[in-house]
Structure 1
């Protein structure tokens, strides 16, 4: 376990750093004495620059632009000399029933939530591999635990992110590079206020009303600083997990979904096993 007082400062590369969880992660890293490359679609000079001076480098970055991502990573390494922790936090959310999504709306969810993280991961890997160290943290979501009405496309993009990241973790481990997937529950960020929505279909009016009733009943979100504190513990660990759940609600939901899936699999075990019976290959040379 790393102790900040005894180790030299580390350098972070954080996307979506100007607000929400990204800003909380940036603040936490700077306040412990580390260096941060804060990348976001629009960077506005603020109090962080004044308080932390040359330990903070802000870069405008659209993560869907692969060439721009490579340039930003190159600039970051040239400026600080190295990267230690990479946090793929940039993301968008679009609400809507699956049937309602246009092609452009569906692709946009994946462009940011999957491909943005992919481009950053690809850009930093040569540097981290050469150093034989580093930690890539993918910020996923409670939505990756399962698909839910009206957040299905968002869930799909986060499922894809996690599948890619699981493979990345195994590929990068051979070079001493760690990969973790963080699955947060609800936090008071502007994700909900900045999200977009599909054009609603009347066919789903009843379901929408029921969902609105459930949401009105309320969910209590947490302060982003709590997620940042958990992230610091994650990156300080000598043996960080592949997955980290953030929040009691997401923790309980993860176990509930897993139990229900296991019960279903067990109930259909005979059908599953009967679908496999290995036979020799046919049609080849004898």
Structure 2
């Protein structure tokens, strides 16, 4: 039996991951801003512990991790799922909006990971599962700052995989495409307060204008996605990246093709920029 610590477990993908963990016979620490809002099937399980956690608050991180250790003795899998979106062109986004997003999506993830790692290092094992996004390997118009935060998650996850290998700890980033959750609802997706009319009719405002139509019609099933995350995380060896959803897979291949094209065009000139004494 493994113990999982899942942030942002109150709804959406995080909740379904918690449910998948319980269905698999493992224990779960469901870390949420308000534990009272957890559904009864998770909250009342004997193999679940609900803890209050705002990942932007260091004091709550320490308290939540401490409660998990006291209850279960340690953690085998950390799922950094807590996060939200920010919609708006880069020019429309204020510094305060961007910093608030990074405080949650990036620095919150860093804080929780730092709190969990000492126990994993002492145990000589553990797995870090960071929930990134398709927007973490492909920039999307109207989501520039959100993409930046998820690119950061991917970079942190890759670096952790190398940093933690000597301690028997693995790291992977899960990169979901669109999932039929509340992500496009105001509770999960903020919109830049400033709107510049010049961007109307351009790709930067396409999602902004369609959000009411596409919300809750997304193709990705969060229950199936959570089941796959649980299955993969239970394997002996984690992949560095896990694309989640048909759109995520298709866009990943398209992104790789563009990268290879760019590399091929400039490869010879790029290699030739070495110092003359190396030639």
Asked if these proteins are the same fold (TM beyond 0.5), I'd say yes
Deviation (angstroms), 1:217 = 8.8
Taking the aligned partners of 2:208 and 2:158, their CA distance within structure 1 comes to 34
Residue 16 in structure 1 maps to residue 14 in structure 2: no
Q: How does 1:218-257 map to 2 (within 5 A)?
A: 220-257=218-255
216 and 91 in structure 1: CA distance in 2 versus 1, 3 angstrom threshold: closer
Taking the aligned partners of 1:109 and 1:224, their CA distance within structure 2 comes to 23
Taking the aligned partners of 2:11 and 2:173, their CA distance within structure 1 comes to 20
Deviation (angstroms), 1:240 = 1.4
Residue 93 in structure 1 maps to residue 85 in structure 2: yes
Gaps of 5+ in 1: 1-8, 281-286
161 and 212 in structure 1: CA distance in 2 versus 1, 3 angstrom threshold: closer
Gaps of 5+ in 2: none
Taking the aligned partners of 2:165 and 2:43, their CA distance within structure 1 comes to 38
RMSD, aligned CA: 1.9
Q: Which structure has the greater CA radius of gyration?
A: 1
1:196 counterpart residue number: 190
2:127 counterpart residue number: 135
Deviation (angstroms), 1:206 = 2.1
Deviation (angstroms), 1:279 = 4.4
Higher mean Cα deviation, 11-20 or 27-36?
Answer: 27-36
Taking the aligned partners of 1:165 and 1:49, their CA distance within structure 2 comes to 28
TM-score (norm 2): 0.91
Report if the CA contact (8 A) 2:10-2:38 is conserved.
Answer: no
Of 23, 40, 52, which aligns to 1:47?
40
Q: For 1:263, what is the secondary structure of its paired residue?
A: helix
Residue 175 in structure 1 maps to residue 136 in structure 2: no
Q: How does 1:75-224 map to 2 (within 5 A)?
A: 75-193=67-185, 194=187, 195-198=189-192, 199-207=194-202, 208=204, 210-211=206-207, 220-224=218-222
Aligned residues: 271
TM-score (norm 1): 0.89
Deviation (angstroms), 1:216 = 8.6
Taking the aligned partners of 1:129 and 1:278, their CA distance within structure 2 comes to 45
Report if the CA contact (8 A) 2:88-2:205 is conserved.
Answer: no
2:26 counterpart residue number: 34
Q: For 2:129, what is the secondary structure of its paired residue?
A: strand
Residue 58 in structure 1 maps to residue 56 in structure 2: no
Q: For 2:28, what is the secondary structure of its paired residue?
A: strand
Taking the aligned partners of 1:142 and 1:59, their CA distance within structure 2 comes to 29
88 and 278 in structure 1: CA distance in 2 versus 1, 3 angstrom threshold: farther
Q: For 1:191, what is the secondary structure of its paired residue?
A: coil
Report if the CA contact (8 A) 2:6-2:31 is conserved.
Answer: yes
1:267 counterpart residue number: 265
Higher mean Cα deviation, 201-210 or 140-149?
Answer: 201-210
